[in-house]
Amino acid sequence: GVTVRFSGEPRIFAMSNQKGGVGKTTSAVNLASALAELGAKVLVVDLDPQGNASTALSIPHTADVRSIYDVLIDEMPFADIVQVSPESSNLLCAPSTIHLAGAEIELVSQVAREFRLRRALEAYLAEHPVDVVIIDCPPSLGLLTINAFTAASEVLIPIQAEYYALEGLSQLLGNIQMIQKHLNPQLRLTTILLTMFDARTRLSQQVAEEVRAHFPDLVLEAVIPRSVRVSEAPSFGQTVIAYDGNSAGAVAYREAAVEIAQRGEQSSQNKEQ
């Protein structure tokens, strides 16, 4: 197996792409599970009102459950909402509920509306250290995503190897730059992950080549294949890592997790030098 060292500051990823259905949630939960398997303590923050990440991690998130909504709107301490996934004691989740659907509008009139997640998360992490936080963003560039970008150190963009893969990307990159300039100078776009890759089609190959040409240093070597096992795992309340650990999708997410962890080691060594 691979040994990876996790140390120092937590790495906080915003899993973002304003397009829906590109594999944000699937990648958030499967990378989280694979990183937990590597020995990292991982917290998934479900910032999408649909709550798909909570579902995939088997975390109750009915309307009565304390959720990220309570943290953002009512300043409930983060520690009061975090649950442990049955999949691993290393895998934590801050669930979302349907209440979050209203938060985008409710946040507008709040004090420090762009910093609510950052402040709550910082207070939590000071008492409950983790190695990795993955924030699963909704498919929009509104205040919820801005809260994720303000709280994060890194942006991870999943790109579906399909038609129009790069459409809307310049708007996303522009938003990241705006956040860097005005709200969070630490934020870096570090990682691009190609998802739903179909090796049989010329189109998937072309999209992959095009994305690699645009972002040579950011695209992970590992590519996530389109696979039924990946898409059916959430209906069993499991990640594909737990559901079918030898399937092609699980293997690819593990490889991606190792790359992400190793890149983190390299950059923390560079900082020490």
Residue 16 binds ligand ADP, judged by CB under 6 A: no
Select the residue interacting with Mg ion from 25, 30, 54, 247 (CB under 5 A): 25
> Is residue 184 a contact point for ligand ADP (CB under 6 A)?
no
Contact predicate 14/149, CB 8 Å: yes
Mark 105-124 with x for binding to ligand ADP (rule: CB under 6 A) and - for no binding. --------------------
Which string of x and - marks every residue 36-75 that binds Mg ion (by CB under 5 A)? ------------x---------------------------
Q: Count the residues of the shown chain that bind Mg ion, applying the rule CB under 5 A.
A: 3
234 burial (CB, 10 Å; 0-12 / 13-18 / 19+) is buried
With the C-alpha atoms ordered 267, 268, 269, 272, is the resulting torsion angle positive or negative?
positive
What is the rounded CA–CA span in Å between residue 227 and residue 232? Answer: 9
If one asks whether residue 227 binds ligand ADP (CB under 6 A), the answer comes out as yes
Which strands sit side by side in the sheet containing 83-84, from one edge to the other? 83-84, 91-94, 42-46, 132-136, 11-15, 154-160, 188-195
Element (H, E) at 132: strand 132-136
Q: Distance between CA 35 and CA 60 in Å, rounded?
A: 22
State the nearest-atom distance from the C-beta of 214 to Mg ion, in Å: 24
Q: Which partner, ligand ADP, Mg ion, none, binds residue 190 by CB below 5 to 8 Å per kind? A: none
Choose the stretch contacting ligand ADP; rule: CB under 6 A; options: 16-24, 38-46, 77-85, 261-269. Answer: 16-24
Spatial CB neighbours of 234, under 8 Å, sequence gap ≥ 6? 26, 29, 52, 55, 56
Closest approach, Cβ 35 to ligand ADP, in A, equals 17
Task: Check: CB of residue 211 under 8 Å from CB of residue 219.
Answer: yes
Cα separation of the two ends of the chain? 28
Query: CB of 48: closest distance to Mg ion in angstroms?
Result: 5
Q: Can you read off the two tokens belonging to residue 17?
A: 């792409």
* Binding positions for ligand ADP, 33-62, rule CB under 6 A: 52
Judged by beta carbon distances under 5 to 8 A according to partner kind, the member of Mg ion, ligand ADP, none in contact with residue 227 is ligand ADP
Binding status of residue 24 toward Mg ion by CB under 5 A: yes
| Size of interface with ligand ADP, in residues (CB under 6 A) | 17
Residues that bind ligand ADP (CB under 6 A): 20-26, 52, 139, 195-196, 224, 226-227, 230-231, 249
